[in-house]
Amino acid sequence: MMSKMLVAFVFTCLFYVGSAQQLTVSALFAFGDSILDTGNNNLLATLTKVNFFPYGRDLGGLPTGRFGNGRVVSDMIAEGLGLKNLLPAYRNPALSSNDLVTGVCFASGGSGLDSITAMMQGVIWVQDQVRDFQNYITRLNGVVGSQEKTNEIISNAVYLISAGNNDIAITYFTTVTRRLQYTLPAYTDLLVTWTRDLIKSLYDMGARKFAVMGTLPLGCLPGARSSIANLFKVCEVFSNQAAAMFNQKLSAELDNLGAAFPGAKFMYIDMYNPLMGLINNPQASGFIDAADGCCCTPMSIMPCLDASSYVFWDIAHPTQKSYQTITPNIIQDIKAKLA
């Protein structure tokens, strides 16, 4: 009898431990660049926007401002966390009050951690995205009717960040301003410091669960392979080295942030290696072309017929199928590491 009671007790304990480890998510908030942007640039006076055909071709033919042919990572993670299929852009004038409760996207295509990155493209710098989030909290409080409920949503939400891609690929490698000021190791150190500053801004406003993406393999994007001298379209080494350097530093920083931000949880999302897996062995996942963009490149002005056979949609952004291939593992990691 005692042994049966002991077994029952152990089973009950294991059940409650397992239950305690389940991630409860109230909302998803996305900050950063075009990997996550769902349309915040549409009304900006910038060339860095995609609210026109053929973008959105596989999203009911609607060019919503997402930088791809269909849904992007922020949409898929929102769905994977049981929130909604599409994460709306905060600056969308048609944003409904109901959408506020389960999360919105503040990210801006072309933006970055460096203020110069956003300024030279006329897009929303990440610190300005934080100001949008501050305005969002005021709006949310009006919708839910109490500060207590607002605080509950804010503290139980996941904060998804993708920044650094444009800082390295554009600001550092295609302009001279930062290269004259900083070596690459010094600049990547600065990007990590700015990431910490972004996290602190959100933490001070109640954020507690952070999922931070590293950069893509920047030297393997179609735009980096398309120079006239690059006849064989090989990946550009220096951009990949810079991306790997930043990613390594970012991952190490996130591992150590728990002590500085009590009660918060952090995880690093590796975007580099999963995409490199598709690039190096596209056939394994049903792709045909991993070097070219399906559309909107100097070599592919007209879109390809089937974007699902391409790893990349345009010069810098993966296709919906690429995201669908790599995002399930990201969602599982979020559920496991932020619980």
Estimate to the nearest angstrom the gap between the alpha carbon of 77 and the chain centroid.
Answer: 10
Element at 31 (helix H, strand E): strand 28-32
Question: Which residues, 6 or more positions from 33, have their beta carbon under 8 angstroms from its beta carbon?
Answer: 107, 108, 109, 110, 111, 112, 162, 163, 165, 166
Cis peptide bond upstream of 54, omega within 30: yes
The count of C-alpha atoms lying within 13 angstroms of the C-alpha of 169, restricted to the half-sphere facing its C-beta, is: 26
**β partners of residue 211:** 160, 267
Which entry of 37, 108, 114, 317 is annotated as an active-site residue? 317
Distance, CA of 250 to CA of 268 (rounded, Å): 8
- Rounded distance between C-alpha atoms, residue 262 and residue 208, angstroms: 9
Is residue 289 part of the annotated active site? The answer reads no
The answer to whether residue 111 is catalytic is: no
Helix (H, G, I), strand (E, B) or coil at 298: coil
Catalytic residue (choose from 114, 239, 314, 322) = 314
Q: Where are the alpha helices (DSSP H) in 165-236?
A: 165-166, 177-181, 184-203, 222-225
Which DSSP state fits 122? T
317 is catalytic: yes
| Annotated catalytic residue, options 26, 34, 111, 201 | 34
CA distance 257 to 83: 27
Tell me the CA end-to-end span of the chain in Å, nearest whole number. 36
Q: Which amino acid is at 307?
A: A
- Are 28 and 103 a contacting pair, CB within 8 Å? yes
- CA dist 19 to 23, 196, 257, 298, Å? 9, 31, 26, 52
Positions marked active-site: 34, 314, 317
